[in-house]
Structure 1
């Protein structure tokens, strides 16, 4: 809305559908994953390290998007760990990673890439505990205006990322 070319009330140029998620290509698999949270200051630090370190990923211009977040806010994310973290991050870097959502009915995580591609990124055993965790993660995303991240690491206990993408859930365009 702060972009100089923004026109309130203008119609979208094209309508997008929400396609059924496909099977994840073999080269994009991680070995482990976990729902995580980082303070916005740590997220900003990771995004700034994309320019200074040899890390794959992408950030967002939160000011241009009009997103104002308190410094104490925890940003939800997905940490993926694998012994082949660098190759996985390189493959992910070749995609336009848009967002990740927890699909509660299918007990899966959906990775949206590009304009209309969705993959089943991971699945989990559907139990009351896992469903509550996925619901809490989605609620945390909603509380941040859809802001979340994807971090690729060699180990889930590591503080270092080899890939970091700051993501945003956007509502579907009006039709």
Structure 2
């Protein structure tokens, strides 16, 4: 859940330094980061409270349990898809002069392509819990995304650290 807050703050930093020419893209990214935060916080808060505090029936578990690839799994994918779209728009605003900022801008913009998969795959039934052996797919998606997003986090940290040293 804390990633959502940090992501909104990170985008707010990029938004603050964007020039007038790129304010539409920066504003779009900020709105999308808010949508992402709401979706993710609702999903994880519901899971952390309902699962921990209630004894849920099979119907409720079908919706909330990621291993069953139900509604909350789809909401989670939608949230991360919206996050990806936000990174694309914020990538448009970065005036990349250093090599690390060029990498950051490129990674942010390419990360925007994750939106397509996150948006379409649940609707197309790619994740069908009735198929045998698909219970690992959520973990695989999360691991691939973490490996991709970690350099964005590091480069963003370096970007803002270099700005504060000047």
| TM bucket, shorter chain | under 0.3
More relative contact order in 1 or in 2 (CA 8 Å, sep 6+)? 1
Return the TM-score normalized by structure 2. 0.24
Q: Specify which structure has the higher proportion of strand.
A: 1
Q: Specify which structure has the higher proportion of helix.
A: 2
